């Protein structure tokens, strides 16, 4: 009996370790406080599901509509979300956060307090023998030199220090206004998706099996040659995410009734 229990336990662990989840673009902080709380609770329910059978979770940018860390201060709220993320890392699930265009000012909070890994730039990963290329998706528009210049300005350490001298309430107001403008700018440029597809094609030709992005809030799964391009959509309108079961990458939609 003991041996049988051990085999069942091992089988459960093997099954659990096969799954990797991806989602992006929740933009927490937009809309009314009531709507934001409802979205947070929905994401927490999703994370609870992830905790039941996941090996890894990748947040591919823009979890918040605005995020700026001071040395001793972070934006108010989201206790339930942070608790859910910490619970995942404490049970051994690896949680990685890839910065998006609304996440330029992430420092040590997610690493030190929640046990997550944070990456400011695109990353490559091999998961169960498959090569993944993860990119939030911003800055891929061929003619968008203005945004690429702005990105350098926003990531400049001197500029970040100067911005941190502002009172958090004033800094938050300015940053939220800027984030709102950035989101409107992105939503009008649906053609950016074409350049993202071309970028994915290039990466697949380089040997990647899967290219995963977000940013343009339009979920898609497209076979390209020997690989697959997935855009994760968003958690504003679509509530979509991707699940890799060790064999293939599936694009799914989270039900509000789940």
Mean pLDDT of the chain: 83
Q: Is the pLDDT of residue 184 over 80?
A: no
Q: How distant, in Å, are the alpha carbons of 48, 58, 156, 204, 229 from that of 225?
A: 35, 25, 38, 8, 10
Q: How distant, in Å, are the alpha carbons of 128, 157, 219, 240, 255 from that of 237?
A: 31, 34, 10, 9, 12
CB of 65 closer than 8 Å to CB of 30: yes
> DSSP secondary-structure letter at 108?
S
pLDDT at 174: 63
Average pLDDT over residues 194-214: 96
Q: Is the pLDDT of residue 72 over 90?
A: no
Rounded to an integer, what distance in angstroms lies between the CA atom of residue 141 and that of residue 192?
A: 6
Provide the CATH number for the domain formed by 18-253 in this structure.
3.60.21.10
3-class DSSP assignment, residue 239: coil
pLDDT at 62: 92
If pLDDT is split at 50, 70 and 90, which confidence band does 2 have?
A: very low
Contacts of 202-209 spanning 24+ positions with Cβ under 8 A: 203/133, 203/227, 204/229, 207/131, 208/124, 208/131, 208/132, 208/133, 209/130, 209/131, 209/132
Average pLDDT over residues 118-134: 96
Higher per-residue confidence, 258 vs 77 = 77
Rounded to an integer, what distance in angstroms lies between the CA atom of residue 62 and that of residue 130?
A: 25
Q: How distant, in Å, are the alpha carbons of 20, 73, 146, 236 from that of 133?
A: 14, 33, 25, 24
If pLDDT is split at 50, 70 and 90, which confidence band does 18 have?
A: confident
Strand pairing category for 227-231 and 220-224 = antiparallel
Rounded to an integer, what distance in angstroms lies between the CA atom of residue 193 and that of residue 199?
A: 10
Q: Is the pLDDT of residue 148 over 70?
A: no
Rounded to an integer, what distance in angstroms lies between the CA atom of residue 86 and that of residue 109?
A: 12
pLDDT at 153: 59
3-class DSSP assignment, residue 131: strand
Q: How distant, in Å, are the alpha carbons of 33, 36, 91, 180, 230 from that of 40?
A: 10, 6, 21, 19, 24
Q: Is the pLDDT of residue 116 over 80?
A: yes
If pLDDT is split at 50, 70 and 90, which confidence band does 70 have?
A: confident
pLDDT at 155: 66
Percent of the chain at pLDDT > 90 equals 56
Q: Is the pLDDT of residue 13 over 50?
A: no
Rounded to an integer, what distance in angstroms lies between the CA atom of residue 246 and that of residue 129?
A: 8
pLDDT at 240: 98
pLDDT at 90: 97
CB of 236 closer than 8 Å to CB of 25: yes
pLDDT at 192: 58
Average pLDDT over residues 10-25: 71
Average pLDDT over residues 150-171: 66
pTM: 0.82
């Amino acid at each position: 009996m003991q041996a049988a229990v051990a085999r069942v336990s091992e089988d459960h662990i093997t099954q659990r370790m096969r799954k990797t989840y991806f989602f992006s673009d929740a933009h927490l902080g937009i809309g009314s406080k009531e709507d934001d709380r409802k979205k947070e609770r929905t994401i927490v329910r999703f994370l609870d599901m992830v905790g039941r059978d996941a090996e890894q979770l990748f947040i591919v940018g823009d979890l918040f509509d605005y995020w700026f860390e001071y040395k001793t201060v972070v934006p108010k709220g989201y206790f339930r979300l942070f608790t859910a993320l910490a619970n995942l890392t404490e049970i051994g699930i690896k949680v990685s956060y890839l910065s998006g265009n609304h996440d330029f000012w992430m420092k040590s909070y997610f690493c030190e307090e929640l046990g997550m890994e944070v990456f400011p730039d695109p990353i490559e990963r091999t998961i169960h023998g498959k090569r993944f290329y993860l990119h939030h998706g911003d800055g891929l528009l061929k003619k968008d030199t203005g945004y690429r210049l702005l990105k350098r300005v926003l990531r400049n350490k001197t500029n970040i220090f100067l911005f941190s001298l502002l009172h958090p309430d004033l800094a938050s107001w300015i940053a939220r206004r800027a984030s709102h403008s950035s989101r409107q700018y992105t939503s009008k440029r649906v053609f950016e998706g074409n350049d993202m597809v071309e970028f994915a094609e290039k990466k697949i030709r380089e040997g990647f099996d899967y290219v995963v992005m977000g940013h343009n809030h339009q979920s898609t799964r497209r076979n390209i040659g020997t690989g697959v391009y997935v855009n994760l959509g968003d958690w504003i309108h679509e509530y979509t995410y991707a699940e890799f079961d060790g064999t293939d990458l599936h694009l799914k939609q989270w039900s509000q009734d789940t």
